[in-house]
Structure 1
């Protein structure tokens, strides 16, 4: 049996994640997941790819706000769920442009000081419908400020297999999944097409191409060559290094750690197939 073993959200894109036991699903992903995002002076998203210190901001979800703590000095700030400003602006995530709402001048000033670069925090209002990649999803599928899709699925067996190939084992937080499951063979998520968890239908739409963020220690921000160096030996397809499956869904519901993950159909398209390497 395949069982949900971990659930994570990342309320502010590229900052620390939060482990959950139960998650509410929304029309664009897990509730609160990447609904906030830091942007630069050009309204482009900020990322650990260029600013590794973003990993040092840890987040708690309170009753009506986010509490963000900068672990370097222990300082923290509260960010209300409802922005204090009404300013709307176009923001950029990769090749996408959508509408974000500025949150607070005080919050902007705090992040600017801590990061040492100009930074503003924006929120994605419910009225903003950012389409997921139409090449791989059905019409009407939307995403938050995530890179492209509503959620990311990884099997614990896949990480275990990778760690068996590494000299130093890595935690799951290097890969920033939303849903982790136990059971099955390593990389069985690659072929999952239609799955259901607690009555919620989800669809695997694209294998996840990995970047240098996976090489950043989320506690110390030390950078190395792993896991990309090892993954490149057996998880490369074309120019991409693949680990995990992007999911699409547009239904509400609740999923919890301990829920059964049922696979209703599998992919047969060539783009989901990788040659097995022992």
Structure 2
């Protein structure tokens, strides 16, 4: 097996940024989800409820962040090192650095409401919760519950076979699930959802520990290019991958040490676990 695609999301819930290589930190891939947009009360805004977040493209620079969106001037946001600290409604992280008035005005104009951009200056300040597979010393960026999300081409192919049974034109690209890493195999022997049983995996030179399967939300039903809303893939996942009242696709991993990850890197399963109960 090998790494077929890599992506980071510099601002939580904005468009994916494909990359060919990335530095791996214990808290996740470098530049992944270190920024977020919050409302006036500090609650994190996502594309689940504001699909216009998917209009925003973000790219890291040596000194901060480059933002762009249709019909908007580009904006460079410097790292707010030593800047104002504001309260935020992020689990296990009560405050963050304020990204500045220019960034707040720019994001507010895109979303059509008063918002602010925040930056997580120290990812070690936020832990992976025990209920999501975290252990002492596990840290995470502003990602929901784990440092890295992995999916496989075999699993999305099986999902699209299921979808085609009721709607042949509703195939879902793997990017809808917003993975950091997509795994493929050259000989087609990888079984769908085999990743659910990976307890430890090595990608290139870095090893990772499984923390949990990922429960999926309404964001997967939004086309990031057109912002059209639909019923897939949640409708089909509910028929085939529903457990404990939730639907499941892809897995979360914690890096066991630092290193790099690159397109084409070999993927080896080091340990397996029992299948999840139905």
Q: Provide the TM-score with structure 1 as the length reference.
A: 0.92
CA distance in 2, matches of 1:186, 1:165: 12
Query: Structure 1 residue 165: deviation in Å?
Result: 2.3
1:148 is aligned to 145
Give the match's secondary structure for 2:53: helix
After superposition, what is the alpha-carbon deviation per residue over 1:168-192, rounded to whole angstroms, capped at 9, x for unaligned? 2122221000111002111111111
Unaligned runs of 5+ in 1: none
Counterpart of 2:8?
A: 9
Find 2:175's aligned residue among 167, 173, 176. Answer: 173
* Corresponding residue of 1:115: 111
The CA RMSD over aligned residues, in Å, is 1.6
Are 2:157 and 1:160 aligned? Answer: yes
CA deviation map 1:216-250 (0-9, x unaligned) = 00011110111100111101112010000011125
Structure 1 residues 65-119: Cα deviation after superposition (integer angstroms, max 9, x where no partner): 3221112x15321122x216611133223x4433310111111011111211111
The alignment status of 1:200 with 2:206, answered yes or no, reads: yes
- Structure 1 residue 134: deviation in Å? 1.5
Structure 1 window deviating more from structure 2 (8-17 vs 125-134): it is 125-134
Give the distance between the partners of 2:94 and 2:195, measured in 1 at CA.
30
Contact 1:194 1:263 in 2 (8 A): yes
Corresponding residue for 1:37? 36
Give the alignment's TM-score, normalised by structure 2: 0.92
Matched, 1:92 2:98: no
Q: Secondary structure at the match of 2:105?
A: helix
State the distance in 1 between where 2:272 and 2:125 align: 29
